Amino acid sequence: MRHLPIVCLLVASSVLWQQEPTHATPDLQAESQAPASQDEDDQQALPDSASKVAPDAAIITIKGLCAPPLPSPTENLHPTCQTQVSRAQFEKLADAVLTNKRASSQRELARGYPNLLAMAQAAETLGLEKSPRFQQRLAFARLQILSHELVHKIEEDSANISQKEIEDYYHNHSAEFESATLERIYIPNRKSVVAAAGEKATPEAQRRDSEAEMNQVAEKLRARAVAGESFLTLQKEAYTAAGMLDVPPNSSLGQLSPNGLPPGHAFAFDLKIGEVSQVFSDRTGHYIYKLDSKQSGPSQETNKEILRILRIQRRDKAIQAIQQPIMSELNPAYFGPADKHSRADDPKSK
């Protein structure tokens, strides 16, 4: 069951103006998707002085923008007028429309918002908000916003996970949260083309001989690993034997969970501490593992991961409960045959 996509919100703005003798202050209520900054470092924070600005202090001053709208769009832009946006108003807007609160995103919103106000006011002067096209887009934007808000509410509710739920999940999936410090030697399946080019044999014979030779190399390296030789040294020798000119991979994998290993390699977690595995071979090469240490039991990081998993599961279940009963059919006479990319088992695509 695929979730209905949350389409990017259409830009919509509803502004209530309060006129004063020399300036007007809008009551900001808007839904839009502000573009990410392209010219600023997203890690650059707002200055320390930002937190000291009073909530009702103006942080955006738009000179030349009058309110309420005057008879013509050009008359709204008058040098004697100005519109101010307070810190509280801007932060309310940013909370509503930004998917993140990076400083660069807030600056981008602050730069673009005055032009948006001016364009919207000019459109209202022309009566464009009364057109059927605007009303239809506004109705569709309402659906998108409501859908977005519902997902937001579901995500908030899904975050209410008790400690007991976390402990129960860990108890039932403890093997998934084990971690181990591992070393690994990787031996290529066959020698490189450079190393085999000088041999006078058919390509197929060269391939068989090369694979047989690398099988022997793998077994010899394992015997030396069992004897206690350094995995780092043995990894370098594996690449030399294969005629590989690339820098050998680091034999130390550090601390990993079973999911951090390639498919089929989780057997390394069944080794005893200090034990070296047999040579494991697949289509990618030969592998020799050594387990240096093993950690088990819940930890702070484990609890965070379980919390994330449970939140996603709860969110998906809630969304599916809403969408599952829905079935739609498209008239092929109008839309044409079903999309070839549609899933055959999806009743909505039939």
Give yes or no for a contact between 232 and 252, defined as CB atoms under 8 angstroms apart: yes
316 or 301, higher pLDDT = 316
Residue partners of 140: CB distance under 8 A and separation at least 6: 10
Cα 160 from Cα 74, distance rounded (Å): 52
Instruction: Identify the three-state secondary structure at position 95.
Output: helix
Per the structure block, which two tokens stand in for 25?
């202050």
**Other CB atoms within 10 Å distance of the CB of residue 179:** 19
Backbone angles phi and psi of 188, in degrees to 5: -60, 150
For the cut 70, the answer to whether the pLDDT of residue 172 exceeds it is yes
Q: What is the pLDDT of residues 215-254, one digit of tens each?
A: 999 999 999 999 999 999 999 999 999 999 899 999 999 9
- How would you class 141 by CB atoms within 10 Å of its CB: exposed for 0-12, middle for 13-18, buried for 19 or more? middle
Residues of the chain with CATH 3.10.50.40: 179-295
Rounded to an integer, the average pLDDT of 299-323 is: 92
* Mean pLDDT of the 99-122 span: 91
* pLDDT > 70 fraction of the chain, expressed in percent and rounded: 78
Assess whether pLDDT exceeds 50 at residue 13: no
C-alpha–C-alpha distance, residues 166 and 174, integer Å = 11
Mean pLDDT of 84-104: 91
To the nearest whole percent, how much of the chain has pLDDT over 90? 59
Q: What is the pLDDT of residue 193?
A: 64
Rounded to the nearest angstrom, the gap between the alpha carbon of residue 128 and the centroid of all alpha carbons in its chain is 38
Q: Among residues 52, 35, 31, which one has the least CA distance to residue 146?
A: 31
User: What is the maximal distance between C-alpha atoms in the chain?
Assistant: 96
According to CATH, what is the number of the domain 179-295? 3.10.50.40
Asked if residues 125 and 66 have their Cβ atoms less than 8 Å apart, the reply is: no
Bin 285: left if φ > 0, else alpha if -120 < ψ < 50, else beta: left
| 14-35 tens-digit pLDDT | 332 333 333 333 333 333 343 4
Higher-confidence position of 11 and 81: 81
8 A C-beta contact, residue 188 and residue 285? yes
Q: What is the pLDDT of residue 227?
A: 97
pLDDT band for 74, please (50, 70, 90 cuts).
Answer: low
Nearest to 10 by CA among 120, 150, 88, 85: 120
> Mean pLDDT across the stretch 138-160?
95
